[in-house]
Structure 1
């Protein structure tokens, strides 16, 4: 799904009436698992952010198999961070830093605990089929005919679209190419059709995304750096999280996924399974990748 990288309004935050049983508030006298953790944990998930949905359900599956009771709740990012700061959620696995979620960190940082970085190459990109005749954005203008003079984009309001229009096009002299502003599904449909037909295509995209697992594509180099620096994806907890979940905190701190692992997980969940059953998709992927669950459990001493 497309995600406009604009700060979500918090006007709807008053709708936060979650009543999640996992909100412990740091109760030192609460019943705990043998590993020292509270037995229930609530995961706040950003609606529409595929990587966060995927990793959240991955954690949920591993934790449930280890005896935890797990609650998952999707909401707009602003509501998730409000809920974390107030203790209605325990953890979120999708804080993009240093730029995308900087405002939320500034507003709520004193009421949050940074738990670790699990992905460090979150980027906005322009991608082509892997056998395209160019490797860099600075070659695109001279080879526009190979791509029918078109760059296939996504929604008009997306931050990615703005950066390509305002930064990449003038920097690389792409004014004579048509930036097709459409939708993410339309872009993916063109990408699918072109790669299936063995044709050259250039699209606006971002990492992480399941398209990198589903299609033979690669990013164009960006020598001028106009697409922006890579961001990190952090896990973040409510105040007192590490005290209430010492073993889970160790699991979160140790957790990482490679590009290949993340892209294949997203591809299974959102492309092959159509996003209809994220929990089931996560379990299917773990069956295919048992080493991931084993590493997570070992990190927590489970």
Structure 2
């Protein structure tokens, strides 16, 4: 399981989020066990709580997308941010109703093993989550296998992110020795620095090679592509699952059907993340989700049709 410290960290501290989250969600959990709790005409409970992994952009984006969608349908939605371990503990314990960001089969396997009996698997919405080495789309290398012989074209540099990130470790321990990239200068920096170099190079029409991951808004913002990884040094692609507390589908039959039918293409997800975290800098997440829905006016109706079909 790789360390995701490279992800966005300008989010509410997890300790504060846990305190607020458990206080805010305790009434929701008790309501979910009350047969007399108010329900919407579609049979769902009116209140719903979402646990969000701190720093995981795709989960933040999808959580706020659902929050806005559900509020427009008449639900009252609470969204709280915490570390993944806290989120899974809270979903399994009924303090949060749902989480949209369980990476399987590898990244969150330990959490699934620990809490799986108290979680409902509700659906898979993305199936190409992976670590990557990305380059500008018009550069010469097409594969990690030929990056070494094209190193001069990239200034003999591979730009990385934080030293403590799992992606950094895997690049050092697996990618570089597997593809004999020791002759390149592996620049360990930070995610903002890597993105700044990516922007500068693509704006200037220069070649660049960076460590990256999918999903990420950079794929929507910059003309880049992934290098092929024929030896599998970066690991296999993973799926992103949605999980709920025990009894979720019974308490939210309509929402459960929407979640089961919910998927996002690369284009949809990258554009949502780009709007939320690049253009709006992660400061107006509900507003960003609402704007994205306005720009994709058929999305909700298409989702409902898919759920009914």
TM over 0.5: yes
2:180 pairs with 1:173? yes
Distance 2:273 2:24 in 1: 30
Mapping 1:99-110, distance limit 5 Å: 99-110=106-117
Counterpart check, 1:22 vs 2:28: yes
Counterparts of 1:238-277 in structure 2, within 5 Å, are 238-277=245-284
Alpha-carbon separation, structure 1, partners of 2:81 and 2:155: 40
Distance 1:111 1:292 in 2: 31
> Structure 1 regions of 5+ residues with no counterpart?
6-10
- Secondary structure of 1:22's counterpart equals helix
Three-state SS of the structure 2 residue aligned to 1:19 is: helix
CA displacement, residues 202-254 of structure 1 (integer Å, 9 cap, x when unaligned) = 00000000000000000000010111000000000000000000010000000
SS at 1:142's partner residue?
Answer: helix
Give the TM-score, by structure 2 length: 0.92
1:201-280 matched pairs, under 5 angstroms: 201-280=208-287
* Aligned counterpart, 1:164: 171
- Measured in 1, the distance between the counterparts of 2:294 and 2:217 equals 19
What displacement does 1:292 show? Answer: 1.3
CA RMSD between the two structures? 1.8
Per-residue CA deviation, residues 169-208 of structure 1 (Å, 9 max, x unaligned), is 0010100111100000000000000000000000000000
Query: How far apart are the structure 1 equivalents of 2:161 and 2:275?
Result: 22
Q: Where does 1:108-187 land on structure 2 (aligned, <5 Å)?
A: 108-187=115-194
Preserved CA contact (<8 Å) 1:112 1:236: yes
CA shift, 1:85, in A, is: 0.9
* Counterpart Cα distance in 2 of 1:77 and 1:233: 14
Return the offset for 1:298.
3.5
CA distance in 2, matches of 1:30, 1:300: 25
Paired residues of 2:121 and 2:243 also in contact (CA < 8 A): yes
TM-score by length of 1: 0.94
TM-superposed deviation, 1:259 = 0.2
1:27-46 superposed matches below 5 A = 27-46=34-53
Task: Report deviation, 1:300.
Answer: 5.4
Partner of 1:8: none
In the alignment, the residues of structure 2 paired with residue 91 and residue 295 of structure 1 have an alpha-carbon distance, to the nearest angstrom, of 22
**How much has 1:299 moved relative to structure 2?**
4.6
Query: Among 60, 65, 72, which residue is 2:72 paired with?
Result: 65
- 2:11 match: none
Alignment partner for residue 95 of structure 1, among 91, 102, 107?
Answer: 102
Question: Does the CA-based 8 Å contact 1:22-1:71 persist in structure 2?
Answer: no
1:95 & 1:233 partners in 2: Cα distance? 5
- What is the CA deviation profile of residues 248-289 of structure 1, one whole-angstrom value per residue up to 9, with x for unaligned ones? 000000000000000000000000111111000000000001
SS at match of 2:23: coil
Q: 2:105·2:238 contact (CA, 8 Å) conserved in 1? A: yes
Number of aligned residue pairs: 296
- Aligned equivalents of 1:300 and 1:38: distance in 2? 18
Measure, in 1, the Cα distance between the counterparts of 2:22 and 2:269: 32
